[in-house]
Copies of this chain bind each other. A is one copy, B any other.
Amino acid sequence: MIGIVNKQQILVKRPVGMPTPDTWELKEYEIPELEKGEILIKQEYISLDPAMRGWMNDTKSYVPPIELNAVMRAGTVGKVIQSNNHSKYKEGDVLVGMGGVQQYTVTDGKGYYPVDPSKAPLPTYIGTLGMPGMTAYFGLLEVGKLKEGDVVVVSGAAGAVGSTVGQIAKIKGCKVVGIAGGPDKCSYLINDLGFDAAIDYKNENVRKALKEACPDGVDIYFDNVGGEILDAVLTQIRMHARVVICGAISQYNVTQPKGPANYMSLLVNRATMQGMIVFDFADRYGEAAQQMAKWIEEGRLKHREEVLNGIDHFYEAFCKLFTGEKQGKMVLKVSED
């Protein structure tokens, strides 16, 4: 024993629909001595991502489901506080990886990578410079095949991925329309991030608003939400449009998912709908992170985080992903100092 108590959120049942609080149990235990080649990471921040909901289902997907009675899977950023002869990482290194919803992670370091805490605030490394940022970058540029002058529409536009998508498209000389919930988020998109237009799906007819904002149609639709918004945008795409399927947050907690009834618009417009998983671009994260760090430094790529404090607030943080009651990237601070 090394005198450290770890708190973990354990997945104890598979939810049907929206998870209830008893989906997880908070477990405490004392961390044993490290094996040779292991490191102990004290996690600072846990990343909250809509994809986590999918990982909880026992279905074939792009990663195996989280096992029952295992630590809830999540991205993390934290500092190495012990190393038992690890070949790469030593005390003081700051590592990003899939450390799970817990305060400490014992690991052999596989799948982790080091980041420089002097260059950006830690949450940025699980946000704009982490998985959400990479998703935006490669989804827009590679899958969406962005060209200067394209009309780009993004849903979940005030979120971690969406806000980055829209800003990259602006940097690349495109017209950008964001779809988000509520006037506050919409005003943030236009006034803080420089979007050309914003549509408040909670208070506007999306189809009509899109028609006004994009009278010549939409070239790229970056979809984070699915459902009725996907259907509305499909009616407004133009010739050779690209629909990037990044997520479908409106569908993750429903038991009878709804497909895009207007998908035949793909035929009329010779358009493409393509799914993406950011992990496929892992060997190019470095290139993207460098570019995005430069944009952040230049003040051209902004981000904001909503931080909840304490591992016992995990359920609350998780729910905010789906209710939309958050501003920007949702993170959970789990370190206790």
List residues of A whose CB falls within 8 A of some B CB: 60-62, 226, 231, 245-248, 251, 256-277, 280
The DSSP consensus for interface residues of chain A is loop
The residue on B at minimum CB distance from A252 is B264
Q: A61, A267, A273: which has the most chain B beta carbons within 10 Å?
A: A267
| A226 CB contacts on chain B under 8 angstroms | 264
Q: Which of B231, B257, B263, B280 contacts A245 (CB 8 A)?
A: B263
CA A257 – CA B258 in complex, angstroms?
12
- For this complex, 7 residue pairs linking A to B, each with C-beta atoms less than 8 Å apart, are A245-B267, A248-B267, A251-B264, A258-B261, A259-B259, A269-B275, A270-B276
Nearest residue (CB) in B for A261 is: B259
- Rounded to whole angstroms, the CA-CA distance of A261 and B231 in the bound complex is 12
Contact A274 B277 (CB under 8 A): no
- Given known pairs A60-B268, A268-B62, the reply for A259 and B231 (CB within 8 Å) is yes
**Chain B: minimal CB distance from A244 (Å):** 10
Q: With A259-B262, A267-B276 given, name 15 new contacts (CB 8 A).
A: A60-B268, A62-B268, A62-B269, A245-B266, A257-B261, A257-B262, A258-B259, A263-B263, A265-B275, A266-B275, A267-B275, A268-B275, A268-B277, A272-B272, A273-B273
Q: Which of A246, A247, A271 gathers most chain B CB within 10 Å?
A: A271
Nearest CB in chain B: distance from A15 CB, A: 17
Smallest Cβ-Cβ distance to A143: which chain B residue = B270
A277 touches B273 (CB 8 A): no
Check B275–A271 contact: CB distance below 8 A: yes
Give Cα distance in the complex from A264 to B61, angstroms.
10
A264 to B273, CA, bound (A): 11
**Which residues of B are found within 8 Å of A248, using beta-carbon distances?**
264, 267
Contacts of A262 in B (CB 8 A): 257, 259
CA distance A60 to B239 in the complex (A): 12
Please measure, in the bound complex, the distance between the C-alpha atom of A195 and the C-alpha atom of B271, giving whole angstroms.
Answer: 29
Most chain B CB within a 10 A radius of its CB, from A247, A256, A260, A265: A260
Look across to chain B and name the residue whose beta carbon is closest to the beta carbon of A272. Answer: B274
Q: In the complex, how many angstroms separate the beta carbon of A300 from the nearest chain B beta carbon? A: 29
Bound-state Cα–Cα, A262 to B256, Å:
10
In the bound complex, residues from chain B placing their C-beta under 8 Å from that of A275 are 264-272
With A259-B263, A262-B259 known to touch, is A61 a contact of B268 (CB < 8 Å)? yes
Distance between Cα atoms of A263 and B280 in the complex (Å): 19
Tell me how far the C-beta of A225 lies from the nearest C-beta in chain B, rounded to whole angstroms. 12
Measured CA separation A246–B266 after assembly (Å)? 10
Of A226, A231, A259, A266, which is in contact with the most chain B CB atoms at under 10 Å from its CB?
A259
